[in-house]
Amino acid sequence: GEDVEQSLFLSVREGDSSVINCTYTDSSSTYLYWYKQEPGAGLQLLTYIFSNMDMKQDQRLTVLLNKKDKHLSLRIADTQTGDSAIYFCAESIGGYSTLTFGKGTMLLVSP
Amino acid sequence: NAGVTQTPKFRVLKTGQSMTLLCAQDMNHEYMYWYRQDPGMGLRLIHYSVGEGTTAKGEVPDGYNVSRLKKQNFLLGLESAAPSQTSVYFCASSETGRGNTGELFFGEGSRLTVL
């Protein structure tokens, strides 16, 4: 079955690094994604990683994938107050017809 | 480009009333989806469509119906609204085929309250 788990809340100070963790259960996941939701808005894709990769870096974002442990993480370097949002981990399987989302991690960045 | 547009953005219904949420996308995407978002529950898939004229059930389809008569539109209907359907509803669309990442493009959401 498909299940994606995330911690619900993370609080950091501005300038620190943030690490948001996610575990998934389906080993046949093709892509894994991180989406960001700002207050009152829809979700926007932040970054993604293909299942045959271990790491992906995109400016302040680093995604690490441990397929053995079915663990995905998102590291945000030099976290800013504008990074405060809900971050969703999601996985797709096979033909990408549906994504399964975690419950979301609320990141609060304080000055 | 407008992307994914949902109407209405807000609606209040009484128990037993019916309504339709409209989703329109201008990206020529094949796949369209309806999710609901509830506190502590994340996003749950209600119904989806893999092309014009097709629909399929998601994780929480009961109490909802959908139609995809035109490729660009995906309608979500509530025939007899219940308080448990109070939620924020999100429509999304995606491209298909080799080389695509399966990224979903979301609308801004429709907040529905059922009294």
Mean pLDDT of chain B: 93
The arithmetic mean of pLDDT across residues B99-110, rounded, is: 85
Q: What are the pLDDT digits (tens) for B29-78?
A: 999 999 999 988 889 999 999 999 999 999 899 999 999 999 999 999 99
Percentage of residues in chain B having pLDDT higher than 70: 96
Nearest chain A residue to B96 by CA: give it.
A96
Torsion of the alpha carbons at A101, B107, B9 and A41, rounded to the nearest 10: 70
Give the closest residue to A41 by CA, choosing from B75, B95, B101, B111: B111
Q: CA A65 from chain center: how many Å?
A: 11
B22 interfaces chain A, CB cutoff of 8 Å: no
Whether the pLDDT of residue A97 is over 70: the answer is: no
Confidence (pLDDT) at A83: 96
Q: How many inter-chain contacts (A to B, CB under 8 Å) are there?
A: 56
Closest residue of A to B40, CA-based?
Answer: A103
Q: Kindly list the residues from chain B whose CB atom is less than 8 angstroms away from the CB atom of residue A99.
A: 102, 104
Cβ of A99 and B48 within 8 Å? no
Q: Are B109 and A41 in contact (CB under 8 A)?
A: yes
Q: Is B102's CB within 8 Å of A43's CB? A: no
DSSP B71-114: TTEEEEEESS--GGG-EEEEEEEE--STT-----EE---EEEEE
C-alpha Rg value of chain A to the nearest Å: 13
Is B1's pLDDT higher than 70?
no
pLDDT digits (tens, 9 = 90+) for A38-96: 988 999 999 999 888 999 999 999 999 999 999 999 999 999 999 999 999 998 865 55
